[in-house]
Each structure stands twice: as structure tokens, then as C-alpha cells.
Structure 1
Amino acid sequence: MLFKLPCLLIVIFSILIPQINTFAIFPGEQASLRSVNAWKPTHTPASPKPSSSPTSTSSPKPSSTSKSPSSPTSSSSPKPSDSTNLSDSGYKNFVYFANWDIYNRSYHVQELPASQITHVLYAFWNVASDGTVSISDPNADLNKQFSVKSWEYDDGKTLYGSLKQLYILKKHNRHLKTLMTVGGWTYSANFPAAASTETTRLKFASDVVTYVRDLGFDGVDIDWEYPSDDTQAADFVLLLAELRKQLDNYAATNAPGYHFLITVACSAGAKNYGKIHLSEMNKYIDNWNLMAYDYSGSWDTHVGHDANLYPSSNMYITPYNTHKAITDYVNAGVTPSKILLGIPLYGRSFVGTTGLGQSFNSVGSGSYENGIWDYKVLPKIGAVEKMDSEAVASYSYDASTQTLISYDNVEVVKKKAEYIRSQSLGGAMFWEASGDKNGKDSLIGTTASAFDKLDTKENLLKYPASKYSNIVAGMPGE
């Protein structure tokens, strides 16, 4: 077997990178966990407090029954997205996979619980002001070798990295669809410019289609955090329309009859979603991934819940609530079955406090960043897990250290699954995969079990125009 020098360099690089890779968190409404590693260029807010916050408006609880790639061109008119019929397609269980997970977290695509999820959203791609969409970590995404055997078939046009593993995963799980996520908190700064002209929108959409074509995706997830005025909101609609048009054109030539997906990560804060054109966007969006978390944190003065479903009688405890956001989205013209309720696979901590609604001294340490703990390590030893039935939220408290951690447990997620069904929503979404537990305590598994039926629509495996020979061939032998 011949080992090429570039391959050896890739191996060395992949060994060294974890030593310098660190996950940076930048507080922002619904955004703090959607940033990338600190060794990459990042956007840092001027203030530790989110730029805007949802208003605390109580809503009645519902009844239980109630580098740039070469790009395809654009031509025909866009086709609006159809509403989801859950009786036919089943509920969706979306899970984000962050490309930095393979480093310090030692979590890989191969570990995703494929039988319990319907869609994987692979994060993140960057976007430039001219509309160019680019890979954020070539080593993780395209180059990392996961087995020596793979070198035997290298013809110089072979895809490696986590994206190869993602294609293999969907190949062996035909119900599993994959989407590329563009943006996120760190990579959203250039969205306003990228969406502002016909030329930049054409470039953005054609770049996305090229990545879908080359890497074998079933669609794209747009995470623009956040449009700040009416002009940007209107441009967002135009961007989605162009994206829909170009995806349909690609499908007509390369995958007749196949519907490539467009989803959007969206805020649960009224000051953010109140600025976008929800009903117009709904025409082109297959699913709204509602980021129903990060409701309280280091930017606050009092301890609150991270992801409560309903408001509390104590406004300090629930400055946000998910039910209000969903009610507002639906009232604005969003199809309920397109909404996916976001669930965090992490908790937020508060140290030096006597409990909910009280002041705190700091957020303390965390799994990888201060104040943030993976769900899989909660509750911490010595802490007592508690339930807030009014808000439908869970947390743990350690009186000896005066530490409160707000997070979703299995009981809360079961109630959220009931809510999803009662409100005819489309399913659940999780941020992000590496934080979950295994077995009966898995939150991803909890929703999968609670839904009568999961979406089993088949993914796409044929990408004849891909620049990668192993994608064109369908990963033979893998």
C-alpha cells in the first residue's frame, strides 16, 4: 500500500488540532451555543447581555387536546414548500452535529443514534458579504482519515472527513436525511450583505446547491442570527426564494421528483421574530427550527429557567416562554406542522444563589465553557433534581455549594413531546448531539419513543454530478 505525503500530513494535522481547538461561547439571544471554536475568527458581542430579549408576556396554556465552488445556474420560478401531513410522514426528530465535536468532545458522526433521528443538521458553513459560502473546517469536514483502509481507494478525488461518514450513515439508514447548516451566531455577520442584492443572492444559492451536489446533502438549514430591520427581513425572503428555485432546478436535472429541504433556525424572542416576514418565509421553508432555549444565563441578574415551556408567575424565573413564541408564529401565518420545538442537550448554571428567581454571584465552571454543562453529566453529584410544574421546566440544586443548574430532563421532554402532539407541531430539534445521554435517559430517544411515528421518507443517495468520486459511486464497500 502506498501512503502519500499529503495523507501523512493530514494525519499529523488531525492529531495536533485538538490541542488548540476550544469551543467559544458568545452570549446572545438564542445564540450562545451556536458559535464556533475560539481558534477561528469569531464575532464577539459588545455586551455580555443578549442584544435583544423576548418580552415576558403570559399566554394561556393550551388544552391537552388543543473557497467558493463552481456553481449551477438559476432559471425557473421557485416552488413554495408544501405543508407537512404528519399522518402520512410522521414526526421529525432533528439533531444538530457540530463539526468541532470530533476534537475535545471526541464525538463523531458514527455515534449519532440514527434509528432515533430523522434529520442531521451539520454545522457550520461560513458566508461572505459577496454571497460566497465556505467550509469552516476543511480538516474535520473533508480531510480527516477515520481508517487506514480508506487510502487504498484514493484516486485524488475522494471525500474524507466527517462528511464522508455522514454519507455512509445515511446510506445505511435510508430514513435519515442530512442538511448543511449555514451561519450560526459566529458566522451571521455577513448575511445582511449576502442577501442584499440579486447578484449576491444568486451566488449564495448556487454555492449552497454546489455543496449539496458535491457532498450528498438532502437540503440546507439557514441560521441567520438575526435580521435586524424590515429591509433585511425582505431580503431574507428573496434569499429563500432564490434558494428554492435553484434547488428545484438541480433536482429537475439530477434527481427528478426529489424535494430538497430548506429549514431555518429561528428565535423564540419576540424582538427577533417580530422583525421577520414569517408568513412570506413560510412559503419556502419546510421546517422552522425554533431555538427554544438560552432563556436565562450569565447576562441576567436573577436565576431563571433555560428552556421553560410556559411562563411562571415570577417574571424573573421565566423572562421567555416557548408557548408564547409558538403561538405568535402560528398567528403570524406559520404552518404549525412546520415548527420543530428546540430542546437543549445542556444546562446553564448559577452559583451563589438560594434558588429560582434569586440573585447569583457567577455561573461557575462547565463541561467545556463556564456556566454550560452537558446534559450527560447532570445532575451533578450532591445535587437534587427538581421540577417546576407551573413553567414545565426542570433543574437541580446543590445547597452545599449554592449551585443551581437549569436543564431539561426526561420528564420535561416527555411533556414537551405531549405539547408537540397537542399543538400539531412537526416534531423536535436538539442542540447538539454530543451532549445527550445513552439508553433510557436519552432526551433524543425520549421524543423518538413518545411520537407515534417518525418521518421515514427516504433520503437521496445518487449525486451523479458530485466532484467526489466516492460520492458519485455511492461509497462502494462502505
Structure 2
Amino acid sequence: MKFKPVQLLVFVTLLVAAACAPASRNQKSTSRQGDEFKVIGYYTPGSAEPESLPMEWLTHVNYSFAIPAPSGDTLIPLKDDDRLKRLVKHVHSHGKSVFISIGGWGIGDGGGDDTRFHRMAERPEGQAAFIKSTLAFVRKYELDGVDLDWEYPDEDSPSADQYVTLVQELARQLHADGKKLTAAVISYGKKGYGVKKEAFEAMDWINLMAYDDDYSKDYLAAHAPYALAVQSLDYWINERALPPAKAILGLPFYAKKGFGQYGPGYKQLLADGASAYDDFWKGSFYNGINTIEAKTRLARQRGCSGVMIWEIGLDVADERSLLRAIDRVKRGQ
């Protein structure tokens, strides 16, 4: 086919316009989906130097933990806040976000003592003081949000309703400051009902701790098999009606030996001779690359907005990295 000069100019112009036109609204953009898929890492001081965290593979870092005082209504000042300051500087230099995670399992003797949260939440003035203290902490360290790790409000007690009022007001004040509120919750089961629908409606997203199920008769000591990830998503999304876009699937970078006995972190497992592609080594159950990739694909298939990791300081920096495995799935590889 031959074109006159004017016809050729029009034809080329149309081709350029078509190439530059935005994709149809019905056409999915893989790269954009990948950009929006969160990879959230919990970080504990001492597990790794803040500057060593590979921010090219993370979107958010949750500093763990700030601990409520025995009265529950204020946060105990950090004994040494240098690592938090360095972490904020490092993460922000990459354009990513840092949250403070409040609470955790380790409060009190033996862990799992949430009486400080109960003591605070049962009084309106306690909730107000806690929120004031939390906002002051966030502003002092220029943080981007709060991850509330109350383990756990109880369905059959007033604490479930008190949790609702707490997170609704905390979310309101954080959002007014341009900050976000998230929560860490149990993988599934009765304890999960302490987090009511009204509570997670106030959250920006919820981190599902789909691990530590070593007491289950179905999973024995495996603690975090693929089946548990499926069960956790079924519980929260199907049974509890959590919007998938607010669900973040938790992944472990550590091993368990069964019945509450913690094993080595992923880095130490590999140093001891474990395979990066297996899930069991000398009595320790963990998630290798194959399982981490499968769970990340599951999260994307179920419409989750990301995955989170406990704990990112336990990864390695070479081709066996679990964060790299997550990133490959995120990018559609």
C-alpha cells in the first residue's frame, strides 16, 4: 500500500496516538497490580542493622515493639531509640513507610498477657490517654502509622466492644494526621471473633498471623503449612467478611519445633545445612522458597493487598532470599 505524504503523516500520527493511549479500564495492568501489592516486614532491633534492610523488596516496615505501661494508658519510652531513628531515615530515604507496632505476644511474664490493654480499654479516660500517648510517639519519630498488636480482645467479654471504640477513635485521629492504622490478628478461630466487623472497618488493613499453629491436630508441629494460609483466608474473608483488599497474609521467616518450641530463623537454618527449598530440617518446620512463593501467589489470587513477614531480619541476602522469592511473584514471574 502506498501513501501520499499527507496521508502518511496522518497514518503515523494515528499510530503514535494509539500507542500512547491509556489501556482500557477493563484491561488489567500487571505492573500496577505489582506496585500496589504490599510487602510488610516486622523488624525487631538487633536482628539486623536498619541500613541493611533491602527496601527494594519491601513497601512497609513495622518496628516491633512499643509496649504499654502497666497501667495500659501510655507507651513506655524506648530504652534506646537510635535504631528506630536510623530505621526511619533508611526507609524514608527509599520512599517507603515505617509503622510502630504496639503490644505483641511478649508482654508480661511468659507472653500472651494482654491485661494492660484490658486495663486501658475498659475506661474512656484510659483509651483517651493511650491514643494521646500513641499520637505523640508517632509524631516524635515521624512515623507513617500504627500497627495495633493486642493479643487478643475476647469475644465473650466487654473487651471486644471496647476494642471497637478504641480503634475507631485511634483511626480517626491518625487519619486526620495523614497516618494509617492496621492490626495484627490470629490466623483463625474463636479468638478471632474478639475483632468485630466494626473494628476492622476502621482499619486500613489487617495482618493475618497465619503461623504458630503448632497445636493444631490437623497440622501437628508444622506451624505454618500452605493449608493454614488457605484456612486463614477462608476464615477472615469468607466467614468474617473481611474485604480481601484489607487482608495481608502473614508469612514466617522462622522455624518451630512443635508445641510452642521456637526453632532457628531462616538464615540460621541455611547456615546449619537446611535447604532453601524444603520445609523441614532436623526437627524444625519452616517455609522454604517454594512454599513462600506458593503462599504469595495464593494471596494475589484471593485478592489480598499484600503479604507480611515475621521477621525480616531473619532472611539472607543472596539468591536464597525469601524476600526475593516474594518479589518474583509480585512481579508476575
Work out the percentage of aligned pairs sharing the same amino acid. Answer: 26
Unaligned runs of 5+ in 2: 1-31, 108-113
Using the TM superposition, name which of 230-239 and 376-385 deviates more. Answer: 376-385
* Equivalence map 1:127-206=2 (5 Å): 127-128=68-69, 129-135=71-77, 137-139=78-80, 141=81, 161-174=82-95, 176-187=96-107, 188-206=114-132
Partner of 1:60: none
Partner of 1:53: none
Q: Which amino acid aligns with 2:190?
A: K
Question: 202, 222, 229: which is aligned to 1:284?
Answer: 202
| Partner secondary structure for residue 416 of structure 1 | helix
Q: Distance in 1 between matches of 2:272 and 2:252?
A: 21
1:91 and 2:37 aligned: yes
Q: Distance in 2 between matches of 1:431 and 1:222?
A: 15
Unaligned runs of 5+ in 1: 1-85, 142-160, 252-258, 311-320, 351-361, 364-369, 388-393, 397-402, 454-478
Say how many residue pairs are matched.
292
* Equivalence map 1:28-427=2 (5 Å): 87=33, 90-99=36-45, 101=46, 105=47, 107-128=48-69, 129-135=71-77, 137-139=78-80, 141=81, 161-174=82-95, 176-187=96-107, 188-228=114-154, 229-249=156-176, 251=177, 259-277=178-196, 279-296=197-214, 303-310=220-227, 321-331=228-238, 332-349=240-257, 371-379=262-270, 381=272, 394-396=279-281, 403-427=282-306
What is the Cα deviation at residue 337 of structure 1? 1.4
Task: Report if aligned partners of 1:92, 1:119 keep a CA contact under 8 Å in 2.
Answer: yes
Q: Distance in 2 between matches of 1:296 and 1:433?
A: 21
Output the TM-score relative to the length of structure 2: 0.80
Change (3 A) 1:380 1:241: same
Q: Which amino acid aligns with 2:41?
A: V
Task: Report if aligned partners of 1:282, 1:333 keep a CA contact under 8 Å in 2.
Answer: no
Higher RCO (CA < 8 A, seq sep 6+): 1
What is the Cα deviation at residue 238 of structure 1? 0.5
Q: Which amino acid aligns with 1:248?
A: H
Q: Which amino acid aligns with 2:234?
A: T
Change (3 A) 1:212 1:432: same
| Partner secondary structure for residue 221 of structure 1 | strand
| Partner secondary structure for residue 226 of structure 2 | coil
Output the TM-score relative to the length of structure 1: 0.57
What is the Cα deviation at residue 418 of structure 1? 1.0
Q: Distance in 2 between matches of 1:282 and 1:445?
A: 30
Change (3 A) 1:309 1:230: farther
Partner of 2:315: 436
The structure where helix makes up a greater share of residues is 2
- Tell me the C-alpha RMSD between the 2 structures: 2.6
